[in-house]
Amino acid sequence: MPNIVVVGTQWGDEGKGKIIDILAPYFDFVVRYQGGNNAGHTVMIGTKEFTFHLIPSGILHPGKEVVIGNGVVVDPEALIQEIQDLRNKGVDIGPHNLHVSKSAHVIFPYHKISEKIREEESIGRIGSTRRGIGPCYVDKNARVGIRMGDLLYPEVLKEKLRRNLKEINLILTKIHSLPPLEFKPLFEKYKEYGRILAPYLKDTFLILNRAIERGKRILFEGAQGTMLDVDFGTYPYVTSSNATAGGASIGTGISPIHIDEVIGVMKAYTTRVGEGPFPTEIKGELGDKLRNAGPIGEYGRSTGRPRRCGWLDLVVLRRSILVNGIKRMVLTRLDILGYVKKVKVCISYRWKGKEIEVFPDDYACWNEVEPVYEEFEGWSEDISKIRDYHSLPAPAKRYVERIEEMLNIKIAMISVGPRREEVIIREKLW
Ligand code: IMP
């Protein structure tokens, strides 16, 4: 399988970062195709922790090249900081192994301001990460966005920024009685970002297509998850890009004919950060227990917010499997379920007397559905040291196999802890 996409099948935070880190050695390029620094994950190697928001974690592997594709939105300040932080930790990173698309859109301070206004004045509050991601994609689609490549040409940047500030300043001053943004300091700052990032800015679609022609292997790293996809998620409680597998093609310029497989990553239970429907959410003590169990608790990597926790939802997963074309899954955080006595799995929903098996498009029902659960005996033991599937406690194996049966997929790998080596491989993914 030369080129594969790794996608989150729930509401993000399934542990994709670690899986990418395990798979990276078998690929030549690791590529991000959507989202921005709203994403975040930590890779633990021994006692060292590396945090990633924009740069694919594949950079940790010598000889690999990583790409921030055209579908990503980039906050240049955050990118420069991330490059610096990784360098300070001894990671080899430079224009030889990091390529940033000239077509990726740039996040400006006015994107963060308009998001703050939306969220705080409750004009459609969705609990975003407030990194300006949504408004940046709005500008992209409204055809007034500024792209990374524009930062290389001061005259172009000047013209586009002037035009945008004219509009945003009218909104800030006339509608919100806020002070306007000044052109000069903003222009100078972004021109300087352009100067710093110039060696990294490239026609990444070309680099990647040429690499494919030479038989190189590409690993596509999805950020967020299927249920946060702007088309297939719980709209409007979603992010503003296509986190699903289709986004990989659009967000990089690699034709779908070159994508060979889509691997899904699913957590052994469900979490979500921010607002929005979550049928299997567990409120109260048990939810808190899941949140705080294990070596790394369920708190947002980018914002530190506590994640809402709930039981595994097969209705959600069936939607993800269809939309992404998943045949093989990685199951993560199975160790965490060792902390609870009984484990439940939602196998369908009931709504107005109907049984629902695949998460439907109808917004009207999402907060009203009643989950139908199947209950499992827990295993109440620490499984984080286990590396061989057959050594898992019988109830844990029953859990895994019942999920496979009900979803008609293969669980190829099981993660039982945050470290690289804490994994059970049942079938090779590469
Ligand atoms: P935005 O992406 O900042 O616009 O936020 C939109 C929604 O997506 C909010 O509910 C966020 O909490 C959620 N979100 C964005 N990025 C991530 C992520 O990496 N993991 C989990 N949730 C995320």
What residues line ligand 1, using a CB cutoff of 6 Å? 12-13, 38-40, 126-129, 131, 133-134, 223-224, 228, 239-240, 273-274
pLDDT tens digits, residue range 50-63? Answer: 999 999 999 999 99
Q: What is the distance in A from the centroid of ligand 1 to the CA of 304?
A: 12
Mutate to test the pocket of ligand 1, among 239, 241, 270 (most ligand atoms within 8 A of CB): 239
Q: What is the distance in A from the centroid of ligand 1 to the CA of 11?
A: 8
Against a cut of 0.85, is the pTM above it? yes
Matching residue, tokens 């950020």: 223
Q: What is the distance in A from the centroid of ligand 1 to the CA of 7?
A: 15
Domain boundaries, the chain: 4-94+204-425, 105-200
Please give the pLDDT value at position 128: 92
Q: Are 4-94+204-425 and 105-200 equal in CATH topology?
A: no
Mean pLDDT lowest among 73-82, 174-183, 295-304, 328-337: 295-304
Q: How confident is the model at residue 172 (pLDDT cuts 50, 70, 90)?
A: very high
Please give the pLDDT value at position 390: 97
Using the atom order of ligand 1, give the atom closest to the CA of residue 241. Answer: 2
Nearest CA to ligand 1 atom 9: 128
Using the atom order of ligand 1, give the atom closest to the CA of residue 273. Answer: 12
Q: How confident is the model at residue 1 (pLDDT cuts 50, 70, 90)?
A: low
Arithmetic mean of pLDDT, 109-125: 88
Of the CATH numbers 3.90.850.10, 2.40.240.10, 3.90.170.10, 1.10.3720.10, which one belongs to the domain with range 4-94+204-425?
3.90.170.10
Reduce the DSSP state of residue 415 to 3 states and report it.
Answer: strand
Sequence-ordered list of residues with C-beta below 8 angstroms from that of 231, at least 6 positions apart, any chain: 242, 244
Please name the CATH architecture into which domain 105-200 falls: Orthogonal Bundle (1.10)
Please give the pLDDT value at position 308: 96
Using the atom order of ligand 1, give the atom closest to the CA of residue 240. Answer: 4
In the residue annotation, 13 being an active-site residue is answered as yes
Q: What is the distance in A from the centroid of ligand 1 to the CA of 238?
A: 7
Dihedral sign (CA 45, 17, 52, 104)? positive
Question: Residue 109 to residues 58, 74, 78, 156: CA-CA distances in angstroms?
Answer: 29, 12, 12, 19
Nearest CA to ligand 1 atom 2: 239
Nearest CA to ligand 1 atom 1: 128
In the residue annotation, 41 being an active-site residue is answered as yes
pLDDT at 278 over 80: yes
Closest CA to 226 of 20, 12, 4: 12
Nearest CA to ligand 1 atom 23: 224
Using the atom order of ligand 1, give the atom closest to the CA of residue 276. Answer: 10
Q: What is the distance in A from the centroid of ligand 1 to the CA of 344?
A: 26
Please give the pLDDT value at position 29: 98
Q: What is the distance in A from the centroid of ligand 1 to the CA of 129?
A: 6
pLDDT at 123 over 80: no
Q: Which residue of the set 41, 53, 99, 105 is catalytic?
A: 41
322: left (phi over 0), alpha (psi -120 to 50) or beta: alpha
Dist. CA 278–CA 271, nearest whole Å = 9
Greatest Cα-to-Cα distance within the chain, rounded to the nearest angstrom = 67
